Chain A
Amino acid sequence: MAEEGQQNIQNLALQHRDLQKRAQTIQQQTNMLQMSIEDCGRAITTLEDLQSFSKNPDTLVPIGAGSFVNANIVNDNKVVVEVGAGISVEKDVDGAIVTLNKRKEDLQKVLEQMDQNLEQINQRIQSIESMAKQQQPQQ
């Protein structure tokens, strides 16, 4: 009987470790998704802000380490947007914002789904922990 209890505990520990690994993976993926959503948001804000400037404003483009070079925005109504699979297309600003907003929404849906999965896994982890606690006094 004690041996059976020990096996159950070991089995629960294995499940616990497996679920924790899965939760960790999902957490990493959700962090990356968050970053992509923020990236879309930044691109949208940039395009919207650019429209509030006069034509050909003095522009500085970052080259890293807080350094900039002077640049001209040759055509401020054309934006090249990646549409996936290594393809980018030129769009007007409004079209680009629509595409970026759609991408952001799609990513948010995936994020919500992953958050739900993570919650379910965490619930299972908690239930395994309480099952393990219940088993311990039997030994």
Chain B
Amino acid sequence: MSSELPPQVQNQLAQLQQVQQQAQTLAMQKNQIESTLKETENALEELEQLSGDAVVYRTVGDMQIRTTKDDAIVKLKERNETLSLRLQSISRQDERISKRFNQLQEQVKQAMGTQGGYQAQ
């Protein structure tokens, strides 16, 4: 199909595919961070409900090391902060990529308007 298209459109299509792949990768990373954040928040919620002298363990490699409730909360809050920052950064990248994708899609649609048939996804 693409061999019959003008070189400029072929180039735009290649870029569109590349941007689409980037968007998919970012979406996967975003989902992963969001679910890790949710998991951390759930663990924090569980910890908050415990008494001060509760027995708590933290995973270190394959080991479970005993820690205190307060220490575990501090560690989880740090983790939460790091994850939130990463999420913000990925969301910004995602916005940029989405804009670029829409722009390219529009260009391809216009170019294909005269060629007919193709529907950019």
Footprint of B on A, CB under 8 Å?
3-4, 6-8, 10-11, 14-15, 18, 78, 80, 83-90, 99
Chain B residues with Cβ under 8 A from A86's Cβ?
A: 58-59
Q: Mark B1-21, 1 if CB is under 8 A from A, else 0.
A: 100100000000000000000
* Interface of B toward A, CB cutoff 8 Å: 1, 4, 36, 39-40, 42-43, 46-47, 50, 54-59, 64, 72, 76, 79, 116-119, 121
- Complex Cα–Cα for A80 and B59 (A): 12
CB of B56 within 8 A of CB of A7, answer no
Total A-B residue pairs with C-beta atoms closer than 8 Å?
65
State which of B47, B117, B118 has its C-beta within 8 Å of the C-beta of A83: B47
Are B1 and A87 neighbours in the complex by a CB distance under 8 Å? no
* A residues less than 8 Å from B55 (CB atoms): 78, 80, 89-90
Bound form: Cα–Cα A115–B57 in Å: 35
Indicate if the CB atoms of B117 and A7 lie closer than 8 Å: yes
Instruction: Give me 17 A-to-B residue pairs in the complex whose CB atoms sit less than 8 angstroms apart, sorted by A's number.
Output: A4-B116, A7-B1, A7-B117, A7-B118, A11-B117, A15-B121, A18-B121, A83-B42, A83-B46, A84-B43, A84-B46, A85-B42, A86-B58, A87-B58, A88-B57, A90-B56, A99-B46
